[in-house]
Amino acid sequence: RAVARTLAVLNDFIFDEVVDIMLAVDQVCSELIAAAPAGAELRCSFLHIESGLLISIDGCLSCGGVSNQHGCG
């Protein structure tokens, strides 16, 4: 969350967008951690692109996967 917040602020996102980005990153990471086997790694990458910020989060999942695969919220 802290990295996402810092990068969003540095990329001139407005306050509501910064909060949305932080919540989305937090929710995706929480879902992946809950569905990951013991010892799995979680990777987050942040890329500044012309139209904004590209965030990629991935990790290894146990059978069953995550509960919400169609968006945050």
pTM of the model as a whole: 0.78
CA 66, CA 70: separation in Å to the nearest integer? 10
From CA 27, how far away is CA 19, in angstroms rounded?
A: 12
Mean pLDDT (the chain) is 87
pLDDT over threshold 50, residue 73: no
Contact 31, 66 (CB under 8 A): yes
For residues 8 and 20, is the Cβ–Cβ distance under 8 A? no
Q: What is the DSSP-derived secondary structure letter of residue 51?
A: T
- pLDDT bracket for residue 62 (50, 70, 90): confident
Structure tokens at 52: 């904004």
pLDDT higher than 90, residue 27: yes
